[in-house]
A and B are shown apart, each in its own frame.
Chain A
Amino acid sequence: MENILARVKKGQFWQAPGGIHPPTRKVQTNSKHIATLPLAEHYYVPVKQHIGDGGDIIVNVGDKVLGGQAMSRSLSPLSVPVHAPTSGKIVEICQHISAHPSQLPTTTIKIQADGKDKQQPLTDLGDWQQCLPNAILHRIGEAGISGLGGAGFPTQVKLSGDGDLEFLIINAVECEPYITADDLLIQEKAEQILEGIDILAKLLAPQHILIGIENDKPIATSTLRAVTAKRSDITVCEIPTLYPSGGEKQLIQILTGREVPHQGLPRDIGIVMHNVGTVFAIQQAVCENKPLIERVVTLTGDALTSPQNVWAKIGTPVAHALAFAGYTPTAPKRLIMGGPMMGFALSSEDVPIVKITNCILAPSFAELPESGPEMPCIRCGACADACPASLLPQQLLWYSQAADHDKLKDYNIFDCIECGVCSAVCPSNIPLVNYYRIAKADIRETELEAQKAEQARLRFEARQERLEREKLARQEKHRLAAAAREKAMSERDKNANKDAVAAALERVKKNKQGADESVNDSKSRAQAAIARAKAKQQAQKTEVEPDNSAVIIEREKRKQLARERKAKKSQSDDSQSLGNENTDSSAVTADTKKAAVAAAIARAKAKKAAVTAPNLDSDTESPASSTLKSEANSRTDSAPSIPNSESKSATSTDKQAKIAAAIARAKAKKQLDEEQASKDSEDLPANKVEAETDKKAKVSAAIAKAKARKAAEQRTNSEQEQALQDQAEQKKAKVAAAIARAKAKKLEQQDPN
């Protein structure tokens, strides 16, 4: 602190890196008195003219307002109100082109001036020296003061805050070429500025006050020196002219040798800086009760016949100000709001002058020639030499073009102050700053998106977790319910099943009694049909409700048990029925293809037997045994046994035998077809389940098969007649099957419950 003061008082300053010496071109305006713009017809006052939030509009279309009347209300410390620049009527609250590089429309209050310019001052504060700091702060906020230097930061935020303050720096550097607004303001209003500084000093209590001013403003400097001559706490620092010394960070470095830490504020190193224009506005608000409704604007450039500084009301359209300065445009028009280094080109003359507008530049083409076409970067390093932030612009360009965000951040792109010196010195005409602006926006957007994506991911994961939890809970509930249902069902099912089986058996028995002995065979077929029907039901069930496999298996087991029971019963009644039953059940597990082949073989054998029958006198044993063999192989039921009986009949008469054989063949074929079809479509899916779950059935089937073989040997005689009666029996069997199916269906309907 002491060192700094000692140096500064001797006029020795620190050297900031980089910087350039553009032509200053200030002489056009720096010796002319500040004029006052005549009233414009309309004023366009944007609600938000500063960094932070816009206020709430408190006026309506059609309202009459007085100059200085607040038109919006600040909602937060980061927002300041706007005031009517003159008396008149609010004709519209609309979206009007903004005084922003984007020129995007912004909410704007349009006032039609009544020409009287009646003012309504703020309430009188009295002697500010007697006021509490809070009252002064409130006044600064209510007067709508935000930084007039460039960024437009709400001033009261910068003034509140605790901690020891070493330096209050007043920025009067004005390093941008052309602009002389601060210069002229100092020349004409030095006393008021000094009072403003005193107000700030009361609020901030700095140990020392520095006023930074470039050495190309001798009149302003001497004026300041004159008014502060008796003040030991204020030092006017005349620094060398170098762009961009007027940047907050650069001026701090030049005057104190300190650097504002990355992402920090000057306050962190004991410094607060205010622009000289802001200081004047504060003095006006506190001492004169005037809100911020006008400011000094430099109107300059070769396209103006009388370039000068003017007092312009906030909201004045640029066209009105230019007309006052004698605007004679040449095509294509070119207007710049701000200085030639950091200002932005305007796309319309309707843009209003706002609180941060310090200059309107209307250059001729010759004075600010366009830069040529962009050429490749030759890495000459001129940009790096000129960069006030000691960045490496050529590397930033490289990574901007590659959109390498990580590298850009690594090379500190966010420390770029966008002063434009790199672009200005680039021999290849590369608009470097523009690349950085785009890259910065890109990075911000990407980060925002990444943030959003991360939020979305978290939300999604939470949802997934919840769904999984709910699913598990549901499954558990279902499992318990199913177990309970199963238990209840198994009780009921057992009884029902028993009844059905008993009824079927009863019927079969009746049938058997009513018919011949050979009815046995048809009975067995009926049973087979029942079994098939059941299997079908099961298959359907399997197909329709695959989830209920456990239930099906359970039921199948029960059925198997029933079947076995039944088989046992019928075995005692009639061994043949047992044989067929078991053959059928075993057929369930058989491969249908194999069965078809075996059937074909059997058919062929039967045919052969029929042919050979007339020549050979009957040898019942050999065809029978061959049939049995085929039966054993194929595991089909009665189909192969029919040719067998046919060959048997051949022993009586040739003709009869032939007819019978033909009929039998046809029947066998039909039956085979039927069976095959049914097996294909029904048994197979079911047997899968069955085969897996009940190996025992297979074993018992094998046993039954052996028994059936034996029974078939006994049967051979009686089977002769069977062929003739087949038709009638088949009908019966079908009926039985239908009944069985119906029953099974009924059973099935009960089952789910």
Chain B
Amino acid sequence: MAFKIASSPHLIQHQSTTKMMTTVMLATTLGLAAQTILFGWGTIIQVLLAMVTAVICEAVIVQLRGRDPLFALRDCSAILTALLLALSIPPLAPWWIIVIGTAFSIIVAKQLYGGLGFNPFNPAMVGYVLLLISFPLEMTSWLPPLSLQVQPVTLTDCIYVIFTQFSEHGFSLGQLRATIDGATMATPLDALKTNATLGLTVSEITQMPIFAEFAGVGWLWVNLGYLVGGLYLIKQRIIGWQIPGCFLATLSLLSLIAFLAAPDNQPSPIMHLFSGATMLGAFFILTDPVSASTTVKGRLIYGALIGALVFIIRTYGGYPDAVAFAVLIANMTVPLIDYYTRPQTYGHKGGR
């Protein structure tokens, strides 16, 4: 009888990578549900489109790289990337937007760097930034929340708009986006930025219907959904508290200082925390382990850096939201952060 030889340790006690990825996906459920309820079925269709694209791209490129596509797909990292990207784009963006974005994320940002574990940048955010820069109109055409919609958008409408750019009844996306008062709908952060440049004060801007709830209609609930999902992930020890904690703390602190200094020009910290992609970013995007810092101290710095960058870009930059840019910039600093935040090894007091 042959003996089974393996090197120690023989006792393994861990979560699998696949389990980690699927848990993260599961944790987005609340946010995804909120997005679907508030903005319509579009997001679900985008998610499905993105996942199919991701699986195909991953399989093809892994095959081209001479590896086993089924083994590579098993870690579920590709469909997680697809999911995160799909959650980030406007629900009724044309189908090719998400296809291009996902394909770029998987092929260029992930596989061309060597696949899972070797990508220096967050693949979903690389795809998002590519889309935002290349197709700014499509990428900012968010629907108003259902409560503000003149034309109710049904599931069939969503499918029609995504694949043909026109709803079942022939309305274009532009028409669908029009609110009761005829103005084209923007996201709260977008509205804030645009109107602030028009000389309106924050208090005036927030009188607009989109700001009916304190962080903008609908967005509050979406962000709350992701916050709950994120806390679940921390509890499950899938992610550490350091990155999201430090990110949210920095963003709150900076926005609070700004708000106190100039309440007429600056949105409140609540606005910053519960609008846009803040919570999705904090718990699901920043915490991508591959592209984030891995040391304890490094994670704190990394989170704080992104918090500061998000605040700076939102306040002074040309884009209404900033999570994607901030994450990519911080990704670049990770090797440096990791190098200088190495923990002191046992027995190296007074030296490394």
B-binding residues in A (CB < 8 A): 17, 20, 22-23, 101, 177, 249, 253, 259-264, 329, 331-336, 338, 340-348, 361, 363, 368-373, 375-382, 384-385, 388-392, 394-395, 411-412, 415, 418, 420-421, 423-429, 431, 433-434, 437
Contacts and interface: CB of A to CB of B under 8 A. Distances in A.
B232 to A, nearest CB: 17
A434 B8 CA distance: 8
A424 B1 contact: no
B13 A334 contact: no
B290 interface: yes
Interface in B1-34: 1-17, 19-20
19 contacts: A332-B3, A333-B2, A338-B8, A340-B8, A341-B8, A341-B9, A341-B11, A343-B8, A345-B3, A345-B10, A376-B115, A379-B289, A379-B294, A381-B295, A382-B14, A412-B345, A424-B13, A425-B14, A428-B117
Contacts of B19: 427
B343 A343 contact: no
Contacts of A348: 3
A415 B345 contact: yes
B342 A424 contact: no
Given A332-B4, A336-B10, A371-B12, A378 B116 contact: yes
B338 to A, nearest CB: 7
A503 B349 CA distance: 100
Contacts of A375: 17, 75, 116
A376 B118 contact: yes
A379 B352 contact: no
B69 interface: no
Closest A-B pairs by Cβ, 10 of them? A420-B9, A376-B117, A340-B11, A262-B347, A389-B346, A380-B289, A390-B343, A412-B345, A381-B294, A334-B4
A415 B71 CA distance: 34
B343 A368 contact: no
Residue of B15, B20, B345 contacting most chain A CB atoms (<10 Å): B345
Interface in B51-110: 71, 75, 77
B197 interface: no
Nearest to A263: B347
Interface residues of B, number: 44
Given A331-B1, A345-B10, A424-B9, A372 B16 contact: yes
B169 interface: no
Interface in B293-318: 294-296
Contact of A260 (B16, B118, B347): B347
A332 B5 CA distance: 10
A571 B13 CA distance: 116
Contacts of A334: 3-4
A135 B69 CA distance: 69
A335 B344 contact: no
Contacts of A437: 7
Contacts of B77: 378
Nearest to A347: B3
A329 B5 CA distance: 15
Contacts of B295: 381, 384, 392
A17 B16 CA distance: 23
A369 B294 CA distance: 29
A338 B7 CA distance: 12
Contact of B290 (A346, A379, A421, A433): A379
A384 B75 CA distance: 21
A343 to B, nearest CB: 6
B84 to A, nearest CB: 15
Residue of B10, B117, B240 contacting most chain A CB atoms (<10 Å): B10
A80 to B, nearest CB: 26
Given A344-B8, A378-B116, A379-B290, A333 B1 contact: yes
Nearest to B117: A376
Contacts of A331: 1-2
B343 A392 contact: yes
A333 to B, nearest CB: 5
Interface in B218-270: 240
Nearest to B351: A262
Contacts of B15: 427
A196 B292 CA distance: 53
Nearest to A370: B6
Contacts of B11: 22-23, 177, 340-341, 368, 424
A5 B225 CA distance: 51
Residue of B8, B77, B117, B292 contacting most chain A CB atoms (<10 Å): B8
Residue of B11, B14, B116, B289 contacting most chain A CB atoms (<10 Å): B11
Contacts of B20: 378, 380, 427
A411 B347 contact: no
Interface string B266-299: 0000000000000000000000011010111000
A20 B9 CA distance: 13
B4 A345 contact: yes
Contacts of B347: 249, 259-264, 389, 415
A748 B141 CA distance: 109
Contacts of B294: 379-381, 384, 392, 394-395
Nearest to B11: A340
Contacts of A434: 7
Contacts of A381: 240, 289, 294-295
Nearest to A262: B347
Contacts of B6: 345, 370
B9 A259 contact: no
Contacts of B296: 384-385
Nearest to B10: A340
A382 B216 CA distance: 38
A415 B2 contact: no
Contacts of A388: 346
Given A377-B117, A427-B19, A390 B8 contact: no
Given A262-B348, A333-B2, A342 B8 contact: yes
A379 B9 contact: no
B345 A262 contact: yes
A340 to B, nearest CB: 4
Contacts of B338: 392, 395
A299 B12 CA distance: 21
Nearest to A373: B71
B167 to A, nearest CB: 41
Residue of B19, B115, B295 contacting most chain A CB atoms (<10 Å): B295
Given A378-B17, A390-B345, A390-B346, A431 B7 contact: yes
Contacts of A22: 11, 13
Contact of A391 (B17, B116, B292, B345): B345
A263 B348 CA distance: 10
Contacts of B343: 17, 384, 390-392
B14 A424 contact: yes
Contact of A345 (B1, B5, B17): B5
A20 B15 CA distance: 13
Contacts of A335: 3
A433 B9 contact: yes
Given A344-B8, A381-B294, A389-B345, 14 more contacts: A22-B13, A262-B351, A332-B1, A333-B1, A334-B4, A336-B8, A340-B8, A348-B3, A378-B116, A384-B296, A391-B345, A418-B8, A423-B12, A424-B12
A333 B4 CA distance: 6
Contacts of A17: 343, 346
Contacts of A101: 7
Contacts of B4: 332-334, 345, 370
Nearest to A413: B345
Contacts of B292: 379
Nearest to B2: A332
Contacts of B14: 382, 424-427
Contacts of B75: 375-376
